[in-house]
Amino acid sequence: MMKHMKLFSLLLAAALCLLAPVPAAAHYEAFPHPEVPYADMTYRGIDCDAVEAFCTRFTADPPALYEALVALYDDVYTQRELAYIHMCENPADEAACAASEAASDAFLHADDAIRFALSEALDGAQGEALAARMPPDTADGFRDYLPADETELAATSEESALIQAYYSLPDDDAFERSAAALYLRLAELRRNEAARAGYDSYADYAYAVYFGREYDSADMQALERIVKRELAPLYVRCVLALDERELPWDEEDVPDDREILDALAAHMDEVSPELTEALAYLRRNGLYRIGGAPLYDSGFTTSLSAYRAPFLFNCVSGRFSAFQTTVHEFGHFNAAYHDPTPVLFQYAGSDVSEIQSQALELLFLPCLADILVGTDAAARDTLTLYALTQMLGSVVDGCLYDEFEQAVYAEPDLSAAELDALERSLYRDYGLDALYDISSYWCHIPHLFEQPLYYISYAVSALPALDIWLRSRTDYAAAVDLYLDVSAVRTDAWFLDVLYDNKLCDVTDPGEVRQLSDALRRELQPLLGSTASGGGSLAVAGVALLLLGTGVLLLRRKRRQDAEDAA
């Protein structure tokens, strides 16, 4: 099976790095980073013929050409990501959109050729010598790699084109109808892909192959039942409480990139001085695009791996979310900056990476309160409640839309109208119909189109992130130290191992999830006060509408990642 992966991490190609290594920090491994400004990084496309020719040479002498192969993969990966960033900088630019689609298609072929070359070489006479050069425990996965056949390549190419078509849809009255047609075709392609791989369930196929998860869809169905009973009602109470308050900051006063990064630089060392190195590198080399239109309405962090450089992209539209979502993306950027794993050997560790981003959001809250509301205690409480409501929304929505996707991929004959009905039914199940009058909201969620079955990662990572926040309420320094341990793990770390090793809430253990829910209710009660006991229906008003529009449901602050065969 061949799928291309837009993981968000780093590079290898140490030969490009001419700088001396920085001193090692307490939690992070030291390795050199080239000082190459983003403005100097050039998109020139991917030459698939040159990749094929190199792969032929590589199989003749794999140990000698191993470093060059890794560097080649970094290069083609970087070219694809540069094309994507350029498209996101101005999605109305037809030439940029066409270049991004062409780069994505070319990367499919280059990725396939490189992986198959490694497979052939590992099975050859110099296989053991080659395996010794590779990261530990990675060779076996490549030995089993089979090249994509024409059917797979054609299906993957069509899938990429459909995703590109979704991003190019005009925002008009026909959007939802057009998006639904694209989505139903994507679902059909993906079911067929899972069947070719021998899976009865596309959800379990995506869980295992795309994301390398240790749990299956049945485990998440158990979590979703608990979230409906325990955390969805708490989330509704939080939204109702916030709707009765006036936000103590001007949401229309949207900061620009300089104001955002200056504020982060002024406060990040209050969380930990170890977080300042990556932030300084980001600013020094301009490795970001932060702002409003014409940027594509999304947030992601990716790797420009040929330069060992992460890149942060964030389209912002409100004052609170501008700072908070940038902190979220910086959590990804910082982890990527400190991880030397070659991008060729990374797998889609989305659950760990979302702890790294969401926990930083929560640990940064005292600093964000300083930035937005100052010392007023009531205002700070409102800000904290607002942020925690967003994080609870990540849990609820992560579960709700995982249920939505599991149902969609299990039933091949759904219509667009039935998709809308399914979404409305799930809103009733989770009690969200008391807050929002939803109509085809799923069409506006890019994850469902580009990253199938990713959404549950927001839920399973938000719970450990909330666990870290609860610990910070009694011992902030210890919680930060725990967070730094989590942020320092490499992309090959197993999610459940990270939870077990750090004694964080095990999302597959119903008892631990209930204990966390109880602790959250106790901690939130003083912030909720006496106004949050009601239920009732809202006409999507006030803070409830603001939460809906800035990310609690859309969860647009995503790590850029494509699914790839990670097995």
Percent of the chain with pLDDT over 70: 88
Average pLDDT estimate for 223-246: 95
Q: Is residue 330 part of a domain?
A: yes
Residue 40: inside a domain: no
Round to whole Å and give the CA distance between 561 and 413. 28
Residue 72 resides in a domain: no
- 71-97 tens-digit pLDDT: 999 999 999 999 999 999 998 899 999
Residue 489 lies in a domain: yes
pLDDT tens-digit profile of 181-190?
999 999 999 9
Q: What is the CATH number of the domain that holds 507?
A: 1.10.1370.30
Alpha-carbon separation of residue 168 from 172, 183, 452, 554, 558 (angstroms): 12, 14, 19, 18, 19
In a domain, 159, yes or no: no
Return d(Cα 143, Cα 116) in angstroms, integer. Answer: 9
- The yes-or-no verdict on residue 209 having pLDDT over 50 is yes
Predicted TM-score (pTM) of this structure: 0.86
Both tokens of residue 298? 């999304």
Nearest-10 crossing angle of helices 365-372, 377-410:
120
Residue-wise pLDDT for 276-313, tens only, equals 999 999 999 999 999 999 998 889 999 999 999 999 99
Sequence-ordered alpha helix ranges (H) in 90-126: 94-122
Lowest mean pLDDT among 192-201, 355-364, 516-525, 551-560: 551-560
Residue 12 — very low, low, confident or very high, per pLDDT cuts 50/70/90? very low
Q: Compare 436 and 279 and report the one with higher pLDDT.
A: 279
Lowest mean pLDDT segment, chosen from 192-206, 218-232, 329-343, 534-548: 534-548
What does the angle CA 52 – CA 54 – CA 60 come to, to the nearest 5 degrees? 110
Assign 290 to helix, strand or coil.
strand
User: For residue 166, is it left (φ>0), alpha (ψ between -120 and 50) or beta?
Assistant: alpha
Boundaries of domain holding 482: 217-550
- Give me the number of domains the chain comprises: 1
171 falls within a domain: no
b/e for 299-330, b at 16 or more Cβ within 10 A?
Answer: bbbbbbbbbbbbbbbbbbbbbbbbbbbbbbbb
Query: Residue 411: helix, strand or coil by DSSP?
Result: coil
Question: Has residue 499 been placed in a domain?
Answer: yes
In a domain? residue 392: yes
Q: Cis link prior to 446 (omega < 30° from 0)?
A: no
